[in-house]
Amino acid sequence: MRSFETLLGQVSDSSNLVEVGVDDDFDFTLKDQIFLIESGSVLAYGEKDPETGIKATQTFGVHDPIGFAEAIAVRDIGLEFRKLSDLTLRKFDPVELRKQVNSANVFSKTIIKYSLSRIFDAKKSTSNFSFEEEFVNKQYRFLTRRKVAQDEEIFRVNSDAQKMFFIEKGLIGIVSRNNRMVADLSDGECFGEAALLSDRPRNYAAIARKDSSLLVIERSTVEHEMTDDSPLVRLSVLVLLKRLELMNKLRIANQI
């Protein structure tokens, strides 16, 4: 997987820069607006907590996305934003983005669909995921099966990411470094992809919540599967994983 900066350079000709002053009247919530922050920062507001009435906040900074997930999923932007400084935004074409994502390799397309499902906290449905039917069947003989017992740690925070995992059967908890539950993942879902694809140590731990059977997908297999995808598709995979990380932080903030 090429670096974020390399991919960004490769798609620079298909995007343009927009300058926005801190006092300018600028609506981030218009449909089909897609930006990466080149410089500056904004404060994002999540959904209002039904018990406290408070909205959790998270700062979006350099290379963080605005509108990518919504454009791919053809959804309205649910977050609210407030500029914290002057901004330089890199703007992309939503039609071209959707076109390239729709023609992507099954691995990239599936990671994108998984990310969207988690970003929007949507219930998994068979119509949204093709990982098991296409990728797993294609790669089955190259994958290793791992059995894990309830309460067994699969990986820990700050560990090296050389593998990701597909859940054949079971329940896996994703836990923050502060021991807060981020997600429960079950049959047909994958985990561990964010750190591997972003080439960084793991931000979360993964623990079996009950006896589970996993398929282990090595880094070499992931890189091979994404080789033929366009730079925009590969950039979108990383961008959505960044957005998912920001949404996880918003949800954790709501638990405090």
Domain 4-101+240-255 shares a fold with domain 105-228: yes
pLDDT of residue 250: 85
Is a pLDDT exceeding 50 seen at residue 70? yes
State residue 50's pLDDT score.
75
Using CA atoms, how far apart are residues 162 and 164, in angstroms rounded to an integer?
Answer: 7
Q: Which of the following CATH numbers is that of domain 4-101+240-255: 2.60.120.10, 3.30.420.80, 3.20.20.70, 3.40.50.300?
A: 2.60.120.10
Backbone angles phi, psi at 216, to 5 degrees: -95, 125
**pTM of the predicted model, to two decimals?**
0.85
Beta strands in the chain (DSSP E): 15-20, 34-39, 42-48, 55-60, 65-66, 80-83, 87-92, 144-148, 153-155, 163-175, 181-186, 190-191, 205-218
- Report the percentage of the chain scoring pLDDT > 70: 90
Give me the pLDDT at residue 128, please: 42
User: Tens of pLDDT along 80-116?
Assistant: 999 999 999 999 999 999 999 999 988 888 888 888 9
Q: Rounded to whole angstroms, how far apart are CA atoms 170 and 120? A: 23
Express as a percent the part of the chain with pLDDT over 90: 59
| Extents of the domains making up the chain | 4-101+240-255, 105-228
pLDDT tens for 75-90 read: 998 899 999 999 999 9
Q: Mean pLDDT across the stretch 174-182?
A: 92
Domain 105-228 indexed as CATH 3.40.50.720:
no
Residues in contact with 64: Cβ distance below 8 Å, sequence separation at least 6, in sequence order: 36, 37, 242, 243, 246
User: Please, which residues have CB within 8 angstroms of residue 74's CB and are 6 or more apart in sequence?
Assistant: 98
Q: How confident is the model at residue 125 (pLDDT cuts 50, 70, 90)?
A: very low
Cα-based torsion angle of the residue sequence 128, 255, 78, 124 in order, rounded to the nearest 10 degrees: 10
What pLDDT score was predicted for residue 222? 87
Pairing of strands 65-66, 34-39: antiparallel
pLDDT in tens, 194-252: 999 988 999 999 999 999 999 898 998 888 888 889 999 999 999 999 999 999 888 87
In this structure, how many other beta carbons lie within 10 angstroms of the beta carbon of residue 91?
Answer: 15
